[in-house]
Amino acid sequence: MNIETRPVPPLDPAFQLSPERLLARRNAKWSQYAPDVIPAYVADMDFMVAPQIQAAIRASVDVADYGYPMRNGEKADRAVAHAFVRRMQRLYGWQPDADLTLVLSDLVQATYAGVMAFSRPGEGVIVQVPNYPPFRTAVEDTGRRLVPLEMTVQPGGGYGFDLASLEGQLEGVSVLVLCNPQNPTGRAFRREELEELLAFAEAHDLTVLSDEIHCDLIFDGARHIPFAGLPGAAARTVTFNSATKGFNIPGLRTAVMNFGTPELLARFREGFPGRVMGSPNALGIDATVAAWDEAQDWLAALVAHLQAMRDHLAARLAAELPEISMQRPEATYLAWLDCRALGLDRPAFDVFHDEARIAFSPGANFLPGAEGFVRLNFATSQPILDEILDRMVRMVRRNR
């Protein structure tokens, strides 16, 4: 892969990884496609992890500590639950209960289990669309009915939803899946939007499954608001979170489900007794605690770099590829690109893969019929992002 180096603001050496080092990794992002294809799809970042995380892992590796883990005289998963509570209190003024926090390995597993626990086969589950693909499969694979809440471009720009559009579709609906910040549109919802959603959930007696995994990645001075922290929301909210996205450790498989009340946890346990959900491994536990308790400075530097990459992406698209529309994401490192004005005769993913040697995420993965869209992951260095954009520009100019 030939990546041209341009004059760019220096990237902290703690983050920097060359294309050669990225290709040498054994992760899905840099292994799935041919070596000449630049991957910009799966939600994985092209950076080193925080040194605090690396040190926490080394502490176990150096002494071969791979037995059944305990931390602070308790089962090791309690260390994650307490770290989650500390972080939510410190950053957002919300104090969830550690005793109502289930620690598990995977939020996709949590989504499936949550849908199954709080709805019955045939009932409706509201999901924002476009959406993270496992939200859709969690509904469809378990015999529930997906009720789409469309994310549409608003008159002033940016994506939003219109709850009134659900009128007439709410019979037999029991669950609302909230993704905040939203994947793939990158919206970080404002308090008034979340309060409107809460009033809607109360009016229709809905359980809210709130996936907040991208909450660490917020731009432009916006603020993440935990849904369960809204007055009155806890009684109907199960919150999903993990350090895996913000701190780039998805392979360490550690996540939390927090239940807003003991009653919600009891309902969940009726279908999923304790041992059914499994537990994370010791390295994931230590990495998560280190991320949430010790790596905030690293995260702040990361977010500054991601915001610079987002702005660079937006500027180059506007100047060189005006046919491609992007609503500037307020959060995440994911951009939802509308390529329909290019007039392509095949799905946008196929054209960019075959003709530009770039692997985006196909739009149809997030919304059936959205073949004219792709999702771009800009969590990389500027030279790699510029090579992606250069290839896009060359391809579009050839096809013009």
Is the Cβ–Cβ distance between 166 and 147 less than 8 Å? yes
Domains of the chain: 19-49+296-399 (3.90.1150.10), 55-294 (3.40.640.10)
**How far is the C-alpha of 59 from the C-alpha of 61, rounded, in Å?**
6
**122: region left, alpha or beta (phi > 0 left; psi from -120 to 50 alpha):** left
Which three-class secondary structure state does DSSP give residue 146?
A: strand
237-241, strands of its sheet edge to edge: 101-104, 255-259, 237-241, 207-211, 173-179, 124-129, 145-153, 159-161
CB atoms closer than 10 angstroms to residue 13 = 7
pLDDT in tens, the chain (400 residues): 544 444 445 556 657 788 888 888 888 999 999 999 999 999 999 999 999 999 999 999 999 999 999 999 999 999 999 999 999 999 999 999 999 999 999 999 999 999 999 999 999 999 999 999 999 999 999 999 999 999 999 998 899 999 999 999 999 999 999 999 999 999 999 999 999 999 999 999 999 999 999 999 999 989 999 999 999 999 999 999 999 999 999 999 999 999 999 999 999 999 999 889 999 999 999 999 999 999 999 999 999 999 999 999 999 999 999 999 999 999 999 999 999 999 999 999 999 999 999 999 999 999 999 999 999 999 999 999 999 999 999 999 998 8
Tell me what pLDDT residue 12 has. Answer: 66
Q: What contacts 350, CB < 8 A, 6 or more positions away?
A: none
Tell me what pLDDT residue 11 has. Answer: 57
Tell me what pLDDT residue 320 has. Answer: 98
Tell me what pLDDT residue 14 has. Answer: 59
CB atoms closer than 10 angstroms to residue 154 = 13
